[in-house]
Structure 1
Amino acid sequence: MAAVQLERVRKVYPDGFVAVEEASFEVADGELLVLVGPSGCGKSTLLRMIAGLEAVSAGTLRIGERVVNDMAPKDRDIAMVFQSYALYPHMTVAENLAFGLKLRGHDRATVAARVDDAARLLELEALLQRRPAALSGGQRQRVALGRALVRQPQVFLLDEPLSNLDAKLRMSMRVEIARLHRRLGATMVYVTHDQIEAMTLGQRIVVLDRGRIQQIDAPMALYERPANLFVATFLGSPAMNVLRGTLVREDGPALRLDEGARLPLPAGDVPEARFGTRVDLGIRPEHLLRGGDGEADATEGHVEVFAPAVDVVEPVGNEVFVNMTLGTHALVARLPPGELPEPGTALPLRAARGRLHFFDPESGRRLDG
């Protein structure tokens, strides 16, 4: 296996459109790194540049010790798994797995051994004589993974490999890919627009927006300390609540919303330097707590309750999503199951201590201190 290093890599198309702007990061040897962002953010373009399917306009791209900017894809020692399975319909599973190895001139014994190893690892032994038409979506995706696996490349590149699967199958395939990575210790770069895939699979995540890297970190570090408003609202489902207003002292710290509504905040959570300034305040849905919970009278002092109006209640089994309005702002709370509030009523809530995020309303960057 090998590390992958990008130094100020750019991609500019002939019409002047900048798809990737000075991307710099390193994928460590044996790491599973995820590129995530909305459609058009540049994540697939980055992956295709690593693969050699897109030319690098500027910057340096290394795989291992080699600069590969001008190297042909076949010489980069990478294997790619695409969103479409791209299996040969007239070939059996065994023939699909073996085809690339035969093209590269491997002897029959090597081909048979690698196919058997991949089939055993991906639980395809019973399917080797079937053709793709006789396989389920998950089985086809395992064959596509196996075809990459038999190559024994330095780097695996996976471009939204689970997008064509249904929700249940995506979950099971995420687990299979995580197990596969753990067993192989392989270097993998995984592209997805699905933030749940990114959070559950990635050892580190690169968050992209409009061709620029917004933040690189471990999944929970991104979730708990987003660098800017884009990262904060992109990661998390339901998304982080964001309210714009002025931080004030009115019977305790509060956010005075632009239309006059008031959101009380936990004492000590608002940096002194921020009082009197306008901010975007972020609160995750799970950090809006029912007003009567015991933490309200903890030793740090009383946390004042506010009561937004309930619009829609969504019970999903182990939790309840409550959609509300405070002034003109929409709020979502993630609450444990129990007695459900009625639409049209006011629901007493409070903000959890130590869980507030402050952002600059102009630049969107995180504010600290």
Structure 2
Amino acid sequence: MAQVRLDQVRKVYPNGFVGVEGATFDVADGELLVLVGPSGCGKSTLLRMIAGLEDISSGTLRIGDRIVNDVAPKDRDIAMVFQSYALYPHMSVAENLGFGLKLRGKSKTEIAQRVDEAARVLELGKLLDRKPAALSGGQRQRVALGRALVRHPQVFLLDEPLSNLDAKLRAGMRVEIARLHRQVGATMVYVTHDQVEAMTLGQRIVVLKDGHVQQIDTPMALYERPANLFVATFLGSPAMNVLQGRLVRADGLALDLGEGHRVPLGDGRAVPEAWLQRDIAIGVRPESVQPAGGGAGAFDGTIEMIEALGNETLVNLRIGPQALVSRMAPRELPPPGEPLPLEIVPGRWHAFDAGTGERLTA
């Protein structure tokens, strides 16, 4: 396996559109790194540049100790798994797994050994004689993974490999990919627009928007300390609540939303004076908005909709003109249209500049 290093990698298309701007990060040897962001953010373009399927306009790309900017894809020692399975329909699973090795002139003995190894790791042993038409979607995706695995490449590149599967199969395949990574210790770069996949699979996550890297960190660090409002609202389901107003001191800190609406922030956290009496955005995760316990930090939200999900309840509310979602344990609640006393869990809010969206730190 090998480290992948990008240094100020940039992609500009002939029409002048900048697909990726100044991407700089490392993928450690044996790491599973996830590139995540909305459609058009540049994540697949980055993956295709690592694979050699897109030219790099400027910057440096290294795989291991080699600069590979001008190295052909077949000579980069990478294996790619695409969104579509792209299996040969007339070949058996075993033949699909070994076909790439056959093209590279490997001996029949070595091909058989590697196919048996991949089949064991991916639990495909009973399916080796079947054709793709006789497989489920999850089984076909495992064959596509196995076809990459038999190559023993330095780096695995996975481009939204689960997007064609239904929700149940996606959950199962996430477990399969995580198990595969643990077993083989492979360096993997995984592209997805699904933040659940990113949070559950990635050892680290690169969050992209409009071709720019927004933040790189572990899943929980991104969740707990987002660098800006885009990261804060992109990761997490439901998304982080964002309330716009002016920070004031009123028996502790509170956010004045205007029109007589005020949200106490639940603690006496020391904040810079420059934060007060200015437009600010306060971010609060839904699980940090809870029914009030009768203390001084309570405020009323008007219930708009209740989503009873069994193990939890999501309550959609409004405070004046602004929306809020609370995630709470199942309980009896007033009907829509009625007020619900709420409070912010002390210390569980984030401050952002209302103009730039950047995180404010004391």
**Distance in structure 1 (CA, Å) of the matches to 2:220 and 2:161:** 23
Cα displacement (A) at 1:27: 0.1
Instruction: Report the CA distance shift for 1:252/1:268 in structure 2 as closer, same or farther (over 3 A).
Output: closer
1:285 counterpart residue number: 286
Cα displacement (A) at 1:303: 4.4
1:309 counterpart residue number: 302
2:190 counterpart residue number: 190
**Distance in structure 1 (CA, Å) of the matches to 2:109 and 2:18:** 47
Give per-residue Cα distances to partners, 1:197-222, cap 9 Å, x unaligned: 00000000000000000000000000
**Distance in structure 1 (CA, Å) of the matches to 2:198 and 2:259:** 37
1:250 counterpart residue number: 250
Cα displacement (A) at 1:253: 1.9
Give per-residue Cα distances to partners, 1:91-125, cap 9 Å, x unaligned: 11010001000000000100000000001111111
| Aligned Cα root-mean-square deviation (Å) | 1.0
Asked if structure 1 preserves the Cα contact closer than 8 Å seen for 2:8 and 2:60, the reply is: yes
Do residues 325 (structure 1) and 324 (structure 2) align? no
Percent identical residues: 70
- Which amino acid letter does the alignment assign opposite residue 130 of structure 1? R
Do residues 141 (structure 1) and 134 (structure 2) align? no
Cα displacement (A) at 1:340: 3.0
State the aligned residue count: 361
Q: Alignment partner of 1:74: what SS?
A: helix
Instruction: Report the CA distance shift for 1:303/1:207 in structure 2 as closer, same or farther (over 3 A).
Output: farther
Cα displacement (A) at 1:265: 1.3
**Distance in structure 2 (CA, Å) of the matches to 1:86 and 1:303:** 61
Q: Which structure 2 residues correspond to residues 1-369 of structure 1 after superposition, within 5 A? A: 1-269=1-269, 271-273=271-273, 274-292=275-293, 303-369=296-362
**Distance in structure 2 (CA, Å) of the matches to 1:197 and 1:236:** 11
**Distance in structure 1 (CA, Å) of the matches to 2:122 and 2:59:** 37
Give per-residue Cα distances to partners, 1:145-181, cap 9 Å, x unaligned: 0000000000000000000001011001000100000
Give per-residue Cα distances to partners, 1:250-279, cap 9 Å, x unaligned: 233211114441111123235142222220
Cα displacement (A) at 1:9: 0.1
- Which amino acid letter does the alignment assign opposite residue 266 of structure 2? P
Cα displacement (A) at 1:243: 0.7
**Distance in structure 2 (CA, Å) of the matches to 1:348 and 1:156:** 50
Q: Alignment partner of 1:307: what SS?
A: strand
Asked if structure 1 preserves the Cα contact closer than 8 Å seen for 2:252 and 2:268, the reply is: no
TM score, norm. by length of structure 1: 0.96
Asked if structure 2 preserves the Cα contact closer than 8 Å seen for 1:313 and 1:341, the reply is: no
**Distance in structure 2 (CA, Å) of the matches to 1:55 and 1:68:** 11
Q: Alignment partner of 1:308: what SS?
A: strand
Asked if structure 2 preserves the Cα contact closer than 8 Å seen for 1:269 and 1:356, the reply is: no
Which consecutive unaligned segments of at least 5 residues does structure 1 have?
A: 297-301
Q: Alignment partner of 1:318: what SS?
A: coil
Give per-residue Cα distances to partners, 1:264-317, cap 9 Å, x unaligned: 11232351422222200100000001102xxx7xxxxx5410010000000111
**Distance in structure 1 (CA, Å) of the matches to 2:85 and 2:252:** 58
